[in-house]
Chains A and B, each alone.
Chain A
């Protein structure tokens, strides 16, 4: 009888222990995960790393993701860095750097911008929005112009 009671007791204790552990885990795990800084730190992307400075040759470009938008990063033949929105202001095609002419070019309707983003020919109605380029060590950062 007492042995039976004993085993019943230990059964209940083990259920309670397991359950309590489960409850704590179910509460604590999501909270810890919640508090872990998310990949995108803040609501609005304000800063994006665009790779190493030395990985980019002079007179070349690359498209960098900035939140939901593409940004074109150009290293001019003199080694200056320029970052501009890569969305053509005409119909949102992604623009590219045309080495031979030294302009930013949109293949869709032959729109052209100079390296400061000013629309110089073709249908684009507005200049490309500029972004700020900052260099920290040898890493390039692009940030929103305020």
Chain B
């Protein structure tokens, strides 16, 4: 009980000081508003003013006296206009203290200060003497509004503009990172997010949605929300939220599907930062679904040969004419799984039959032949592998054949790429190469296995000769013991 009272006293005092200062006795505001200076005008709209905080709350000094010298006496804690890191420290006096924030009835988090100094913006500025970004850089000084206030520079629809003040300024940005692009804002305006944002919709992603606000890290920092491995989770924060996305009428299962895809597995499970994340196909600042005719180009940034072959094939023109989304037509989009032989061909799992249903059409025949070819390559490879394993288990030397297995794999990859020519003749050439190699490997393995069984012949000869010697000894013994 006693402790509670003890705690309550300072809280009460903190409460009472501003309350008593409010209006009637806040001499700073009284004089400065009489002077009609810019600061006091702005401050009238400031959330801090509305909460009863006096000028002296930040600038120090005595707000109860009319005497200029007494009010702005350094001995009474007057600090004038804070400069550099002092600015943020002044804000942090309250904003980093849970107790203080509570006393004003605020539920704002109190880790902004820590977040800021650890963020990329918390580094020392080129001018020296302070951090790159202080609280006031984004929140302004005397007219600070609540984040929820549409007039605040950090309100969702104002953020892009606010960030671009520096980030679109090539001269300024060059002083920090000469290689960093400065066109993010321009790009953003072309994105689906940016377009909606500029209509005044605060929900679509803006800078802070993906990069964070106080805790912004460089993209290469593994803690960054836009580090490749973290990015899908960041995007899915909104895109997987049914309720949030409801009004935009787009699906919300992209993340789920992506996580199952070969790309998602590589990125999220194997943690391969080279694997494509959402932005690899959709862009980041200019995020939008790729246009139907550019899909192969987008996929082609990694799958270069496939794109080249596809674009040169008759399918490109046909797909464009029909409005089929190129690669996506056969492979899907978010849920791209590793392509298997099944995809190729005219049975019910095959994708070719979807268009080439007529058994007499050349498309049907080509698909049928190509599937047969790749299947036969798989079969010969499989049988070669079984034999090689058997030979290896038997302790035979077959590194040569094992090395050939690698080549078969290589051919298989090549063949699967060549599928995109949709030309059975070219396909057959490649597969033929693989068939020859796997036949060689099979032959090697068979020789090795034969050699293993041949050991038994050698054993037979030796055992016979040794037994003969034993028999001779036996006869000899009998002879000498007869005597």
A residues near B, CB below 8 A? 8-9, 11-12, 15-16, 18-23, 25-26, 40, 65, 67-68, 70, 90, 93-94, 107-110, 122-125
Contact = CB atoms under 8 A, between A and B. Distances in A.
A23 B470 CA distance: 10
A16 B476 contact: yes
Given A16-B476, A19-B468, A22-B461, 7 more contacts: A15-B472, A19-B473, A22-B469, A23-B465, A67-B399, A110-B302, A123-B274
Given A26-B462, A109-B303, A16 B479 contact: no
B413 A22 contact: no
Nearest to A38: B397
B402 A68 contact: yes
Given A68-B403, A94-B410, A125 B302 contact: no
Contacts of B468: 15, 18-19, 22
A18 B470 CA distance: 11
B403 A65 contact: yes
A16 B473 contact: yes
B402 A19 contact: no
Interface string B400-425: 00110010001001100100000000
B413 A93 contact: yes
Nearest to A89: B274
A26 B466 contact: yes
Contacts of B464: 22
A18 B476 CA distance: 14
Contact of B465 (A19, A93, A124, A125): A19
Contact of B274 (A21, A65, A125): A125
A93 B409 CA distance: 8
A26 B479 contact: no
- Identify the interface centre among A65, A70, A123: most chain B CB within 10 Å of its CB: A123
Interface residues of B, number: 33
Interface of B: 272-276, 300-305, 399, 402-403, 406, 410, 413-414, 417, 461-462, 464-466, 468-473, 475-476, 479
Q: Which 10 A-B pairs have the closest CB atoms?
A: A22-B465, A19-B469, A110-B304, A15-B472, A123-B274, A26-B462, A16-B472, A19-B468, A109-B302, A125-B274
A89 to B, nearest CB: 9
B409 to A, nearest CB: 8
A23 B466 contact: yes
B476 A12 contact: yes
A23 B300 CA distance: 69
A22 B475 contact: no
B479 A8 contact: yes
A11 B476 CA distance: 10
B47 to A, nearest CB: 48
Contacts of B303: 109-110
B338 to A, nearest CB: 11
B399 A26 contact: no
20 contacts: A12-B479, A15-B469, A15-B471, A19-B469, A21-B465, A22-B468, A25-B465, A26-B462, A26-B466, A68-B399, A93-B413, A94-B406, A94-B410, A107-B304, A107-B417, A110-B301, A122-B274, A122-B302, A123-B274, A123-B276
A1 to B, nearest CB: 14
B472 A12 contact: yes
Given A19-B468, A19-B470, A110 B399 contact: no
Contact of A125 (B272, B305, B410, B473): B272
Contacts of A67: 399
Nearest to A17: B472
Contacts of A108: 413, 417
B357 to A, nearest CB: 32
B397 to A, nearest CB: 8
B305 A110 contact: yes
A110 B305 CA distance: 7
Contacts of B469: 15-16, 18-20, 22-23
